[in-house]
């Protein structure tokens, strides 16, 4: 005798208990603490903060631990927490021209005022598995520290002085916020950039890469990549002057792209821009490539490739949405499936009937 499946509630509890045990692993191995994750898995923490849209290394570390290292799941945890937070203030725009430079490179000039600062990077390391690291880190004798950037004009601004590059966008309009108002198409650049900054790194990397391979090629040069610690300031209403509330690390990319011009405007380089939390220059560069591709409409370029199609790019960039909807296919669909079965059986019966009558 068939008994309708019951006990889902118990099954859920048991599954979660099993997961908790599995996450802990062998109790003989010391448990990870959040400081270890925040300090030693910093790039993972940065990615979770960027796509989770909240700057808090400790919470990101907790999310990574809770998600067993599944970063998209950790991003989801952080986003779900973020929604519940009140908005106490809006900061002043951060100035990436000031602050401590951890890294600053330009690919378009051999040297630039302020200098090239290689900083901490995977670049130029040979990707050889370091078996010695398995036994523990031997700290090098001394390491350079971040320095105040001082007077280091932006590379794009240097080009701008001669009018060789389009001027940066101006205007004091309050930027939109797609976490409060759903995005509408066509979307302005402020919302596009917000979407890309929160967007899945893999998605942006693939789309940015596609532009380099000829799908909306726009001849990019890495004008400048900066990783910089900047102060965040707010102006409390009761004080009326800015107060520093903390410091964050940002990765910024100014991409310089092929010229645009018209009968009235002289040809000039165009810009693509990327800005993300933490040290994540691959994401910042990919974002700058996609930002530039999405400016096709504004620059009067033909829209021929996926990376230029804003509805396509922006509607599918969010990995919390994508992961949820892809995985919702795990949920029971047996009612709809029953309706499809019913239809298919009828169609097959009719088909068999037709074949039968044709043979007679």
Contact with another protein (CB under 8 A): which of 17, 245, 347, 349? 347
Contact with another protein (CB under 8 A): which of 328, 355, 357, 358? 328
| Tokens (6 digits) for 179 | 């976490």
Number of residues that bind another protein (CB under 8 A): 48
Hey, which residues between 12 and 51 contact another protein (CB under 8 A)? 12
> In this complex, which beta carbon is closest to another protein, that of residue 302 or of residue 332?
332
Contact with another protein (CB under 8 A): which of 84, 137, 262, 357? 84
Helix (H, G, I), strand (E, B) or coil at 239: coil
The dihedrals phi and psi of 271, each to the nearest 5 degrees, come to -115, 150
339 binds another protein per the rule CB under 8 A: yes
Residues 6+ apart with CB under 8 A from 207: 286, 289, 290, 293, 306, 307, 313
- In terms of Cα–Cα distance, which of 179, 226, 211 is closest to 198? 179
> In this complex, which beta carbon is closest to another protein, that of residue 30 or of residue 182?
182
Stretch that binds another protein, among 60-68, 132-140, 142-150, 324-332 (CB under 8 A): 324-332
271-to-112, 197, 222, 266, 312 alpha-carbon distances in Å: 19, 16, 10, 15, 21
- In terms of Cα–Cα distance, which of 284, 156, 153 is closest to 223? 156
Pairing of strands 147-148, 221-234: unpaired
Q: In what order do the strands lie in the sheet with 243-260?
A: 147-148, 100-105, 221-234, 243-260, 268-277
311 binds another protein per the rule CB under 8 A: yes
326 binds another protein per the rule CB under 8 A: yes
82 binds another protein per the rule CB under 8 A: yes
Around 120, how many Cα atoms within 13 Å sit in the side-chain half-sphere? 15
> In this complex, which beta carbon is closest to another protein, that of residue 88 or of residue 239?
88
201-212 and 281-294 are packed helices; what angle lies between their axes, rounded to 10 degrees? 60
355 binds another protein per the rule CB under 8 A: no
Residue 260 neighbours by CB distance under 10 Å: 17
Q: How far is the CB of 283 from another protein (least distance, A)?
A: 20
> In this complex, which beta carbon is closest to another protein, that of residue 174 or of residue 262?
174
Contact with another protein (CB under 8 A): which of 79, 103, 154, 226? 79
Contact with another protein (CB under 8 A): which of 36, 144, 346, 352? 346
118 binds another protein per the rule CB under 8 A: no
170 binds another protein per the rule CB under 8 A: no
304 binds another protein per the rule CB under 8 A: no
The dihedrals phi and psi of 172, each to the nearest 5 degrees, come to -105, 10
> In this complex, which beta carbon is closest to another protein, that of residue 71 or of residue 230?
71
Q: How far is the CB of 12 from another protein (least distance, A)?
A: 6
> In this complex, which beta carbon is closest to another protein, that of residue 116 or of residue 323?
323
To 5 degrees, how large is the angle CA 296–CA 192–CA 178? 155
357 binds another protein per the rule CB under 8 A: no
Which DSSP symbol is given to 123? T
Q: Per-residue b/e over 263-278, b at no fewer than 16 CB within 10 Å?
A: eeeeebbbbbbbbbbb
Stretch that binds another protein, among 25-33, 143-151, 177-185, 287-295 (CB under 8 A): 177-185
Q: Are 290 and 168 in contact (CB under 8 A)?
A: no
Hey, which residues between 215 and 254 contact another protein (CB under 8 A)? none
> In this complex, which beta carbon is closest to another protein, that of residue 83 or of residue 174?
83
> In this complex, which beta carbon is closest to another protein, that of residue 166 or of residue 318?
318
| DSSP per-residue codes, 30-77 | PPP-HHHHHHHSHHHHHHHHHHHT---HHHHHHHHHHTTT-HHHHHHH
Contact with another protein (CB under 8 A): which of 89, 153, 324, 352? 324
Residues that bind another protein (CB under 8 A): 2, 4-9, 11-12, 76, 79-80, 82-84, 86, 179-182, 184-186, 311, 315, 320-321, 323-328, 331-336, 338-343, 346-347, 350
């Amino acid at each position: 005798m068939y008994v309708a499946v019951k006990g889902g509630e118990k099954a859920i509890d048991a599954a979660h208990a099993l997961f908790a045990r599995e996450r802990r692993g062998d109790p003989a191995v010391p448990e990870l603490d959040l400081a270890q994750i925040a300090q030693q898995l910093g790039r993972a923490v940065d990615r979770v903060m960027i796509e989770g849209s909240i700057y808090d290394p400790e919470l990101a570390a907790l999310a990574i631990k809770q998600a067993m290292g599944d970063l998209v799941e950790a991003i989801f945890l952080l986003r779900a927490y973020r929604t519940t937070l009140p908005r106490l203030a809006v900061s002043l725009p951060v100035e990436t021209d000031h602050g401590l430079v951890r890294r600053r490179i330009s690919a378009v000039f051999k040297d630039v005022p302020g200098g090239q600062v290689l900083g901490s990077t995977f670049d130029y390391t040979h990707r050889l598995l370091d078996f010695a690291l398995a036994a523990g880190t031997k700290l090098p004798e001394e390491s350079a520290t971040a320095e105040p950037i001082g007077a280091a004009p932006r590379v794009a601004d240097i080009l701008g002085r001669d009018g060789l590059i389009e001027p940066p966008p101006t205007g004091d309009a309050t930027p939109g916020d797609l976490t409060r108002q759903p995005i509408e198409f066509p979307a302005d650049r402020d919302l596009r950039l917000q979407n890309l900054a929160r967007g899945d790194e893999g998605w942006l990397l693939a789309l940015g890469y596609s532009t380099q391979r000829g799908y909306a090629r726009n001849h990019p040069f890495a004008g400048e990549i900066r990783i910089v610690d900047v102060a965040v300031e707010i102006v409390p209403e009761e004080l009326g002057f800015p107060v520093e509330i903390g410091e964050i690390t940002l990765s910024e990319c100014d991409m310089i792209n092929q010229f645009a011009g018209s009968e009235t405007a002289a040809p000039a380089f165009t810009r693509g821009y990327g800005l993300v939390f933490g040290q994540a220059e691959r994401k910042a560069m990919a974002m700058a490539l996609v930002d530039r591709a999405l400016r096709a409409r504004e620059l009067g370029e033909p829209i021929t490739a996926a990376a230029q199609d804003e509805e396509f790019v922006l509607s599918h960039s969010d990995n919390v949405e994508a992961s949820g909807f892809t995985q919702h296919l795990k949920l029971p669909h047996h009612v709809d499936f029953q309706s499809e079965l019913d239809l298919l059986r009828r169609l097959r019966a009719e088909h068999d009937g037709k074949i039968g009558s044709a043979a007679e």
